[in-house]
Amino acid sequence: MPFLRFLLLLSFFCGTVQAEHRVFTRKDGFLSMRDKLNVYFFQSGTHRLLVRDEGSVRAPRYGSLDKAMRKSPCVAGVNGGFFGADAEGTPLGLVVQDGKRLSPLATGSFAVSGVVYEDGKSDLALVRSSVLKRMKKLPAMQAAIQGGPFLVENGSAVKGLNAQKSTYRTFIATDGGKRWCIGVSSSLTLKELADWLASPGALGDFRVKTALNLDGGSSSAFWCHESGISYPAFKQVRNYLGVAPRR
């Protein structure tokens, strides 16, 4: 066994691995394709979130998740929040990049029901948009993306999610502590993804307490430097959510 591989395995079993990419599968049905989740795990104490905004879908600054992540200190990333059908692809909800608010907080739609943000120090938060709306002043944010709906809350799958429309999905989740993950699924309904994420052992020893849906379908994209995987979106999207080591 090569020495580097030995060290990686040793650090894993000793519990010192701070971030890693894993793939989870399950059978969808008899003689069917396998459902799949590509997931990147990280800890908020060692990694932070970065938002990279294209500025416009008509004249994008980067052109793809892969290029945006490679031009940033990121080790993994997914596509970000929902955006409008106008020529600029105006973000639907809060977007904060490098401490600058590019788009305001929105409410009233399932697509903007939650916000994930990085405080720029050593913590991440995933909260309901309504909670932030009631505040007189938003908390300090170095990076933020608004999305929805919530898939899992308090460890249970959210009830009433769509069970008919199946498509690729993108999500971010936390165990309620310092452990987080971003991921992309194969074609699933919102209900199927929520039920899967909430199932004990679905993501190994990572127990999902809260999970938020991000833009999906043809916007779904996943990139990981560690494994060399790059799944591009099928259309130009407005922004991306990346994971980078803390300085």
Residue 218 has pLDDT above 90, yes or no: yes
3-state class of 85 per DSSP?
coil
What is the number of H-type helices and E-type strands within the chain?
4, 17
Per-residue pLDDT of 139-150, as tens digits, reads: 999 999 999 999
- For the chain, give the number of residues: 247
The answer to whether 94 touches 105, Cβ cutoff 8 Å, is yes
| pLDDT-based confidence at residue 5 (cuts at 50, 70, 90) | very low
Q: What is the pTM of this model?
A: 0.91
What is the average per-residue pLDDT within 76-93?
A: 97
Per-residue pLDDT of 171-184, as tens digits, reads: 999 999 999 999 99
Residue 170 has pLDDT above 90, yes or no: yes
User: Which pLDDT score is estimated for 28?
Assistant: 66
H or E stretch covering 198: helix 190-198
